[in-house]
A = this chain, B = another copy of it.
Amino acid sequence: MNQAIDAILGHYSVRKFEDKSLTEEELSLLIKSAQAASTSSFVQAYSIIGITDKEVRKQISLVAGNQPYTVQTGQLFIFVADLARHHAILEEFQVDTEALETSEKWLVSVIDAALAAQNMAIAAESLGFGICYIGGIRNNVEQISKILDLPPYTMPLFGLTVGHPVVDKEKAKPRLPQSLVYHENTYQKTNPTILADYDEQIKMYYNERTAGKRIEGWSEQMARGLGQKNRLDLKAFLEKQHLNQK
């Protein structure tokens, strides 16, 4: 097709990297790619923190589930929803800052950050790097914020580890059938037969990948994982940061 589509469709998460940093040129190109993403009303409401210090990576890794691929990697990026810059500007222009505390502005900063991150991910993969998102940093947002010295009006959203992959190419995990995710004109309830077929497909995928050790459909996996109330400190943290309040 083309190299962009190839990079996009060829995606799989890499969890083992060479101990080799990105060059300044690579780093700069990845940040430039992130920044080229669309941004709501040009607000650019995010920051990217690159963790070069291995001790800091280790501290973050301890929060995020202690995975080696957050430490031994080309670069560990933390994507931060960031309205602190705007807060300072509004204060300077003597404009009321209360609007920054709304759910709307919170949503804008999260979406802005995610669009930027995915641009970086695609750029990285197109250049032959492997990537993995690290949602585990939300296990303790307070601790991550301390490590990164984050001010009010910011929140660390997720990490993105980018590096030279050492694993063999994995098989991309089969996604939900298009007809379940894509609806025409109005929302359609999930078709149980199509979902059951998908569950079978996922069972076969895990069976093959784990040599029979794990055989679980998508629905079972969701039922097992999504009932757990975790990261319940997030709401209070957002309140402390003056985000998502109104």
Number of copies: 2
Residues of chain B within 8 A of A46, CB atoms compared? 181
- Verify B187–A49 contact, CB threshold 8 A: yes
Residues of chain B within 8 A of A230, CB atoms compared? 99, 102, 104
Residues 90 to 117 of chain A near chain B (Cβ within 8 Å):
90, 92-93, 95-100, 102-105, 107-108, 110-111, 114-115, 117
A29 contacts the other chain (CB 8 A): yes
A28 to B5, CA, bound (A): 13
* Partner pick for A96 among B110, B221, B227, CB 8 A cutoff: B227
- Verify A223–B93 contact, CB threshold 8 A: yes
- Verify A32–B187 contact, CB threshold 8 A: no
The smallest C-beta distance from A136 to any residue of chain B, in angstroms, reads 10
Contact with B along A116-134 (1 / 0, CB 8 A): 0111011101110001110
- Verify B126–A2 contact, CB threshold 8 A: yes
A190 contacts the other chain (CB 8 A): yes
- Verify A4–B229 contact, CB threshold 8 A: no
- Verify A104–B138 contact, CB threshold 8 A: yes
Of A66-74, A144-152, A162-170, A207-215, the one with at least 4 CB within 8 A of chain B: A144-152
Residues 63 to 81 of chain A near chain B (Cβ within 8 Å):
80
The smallest C-beta distance from A150 to any residue of chain B, in angstroms, reads 5
* Partner pick for A90 among B2, B182, B222, CB 8 A cutoff: B222
A176 to B32, CA, bound (A): 10
The smallest C-beta distance from A55 to any residue of chain B, in angstroms, reads 10
Can you list 8 pairs linking A and B with CB atoms under 8 Å apart? Answer: A4-B6, A35-B176, A43-B222, A47-B183, A47-B187, A86-B222, A102-B234, A115-B117
Seed contacts A48-B183, A89-B222; 17 additional CB < 8 Å A-B pairs: A13-B38, A31-B178, A38-B121, A40-B133, A43-B222, A47-B183, A80-B187, A89-B223, A96-B227, A99-B228, A99-B230, A103-B235, A107-B157, A111-B114, A147-B186, A148-B186, A244-B244
A-side residues, CB < 8 A to B, are 1-9, 11, 13, 28-29, 31-38, 40-44, 46-53, 56, 80, 85-86, 88-90, 92-93, 95-100, 102-105, 107-108, 110-111, 114-115, 117-119, 121-123, 125-127, 131-133, 135, 138, 147-151, 154, 157-158, 172-173, 175-176, 178, 180-187, 189-190, 218-223, 225-232, 234-235, 238, 244, 246
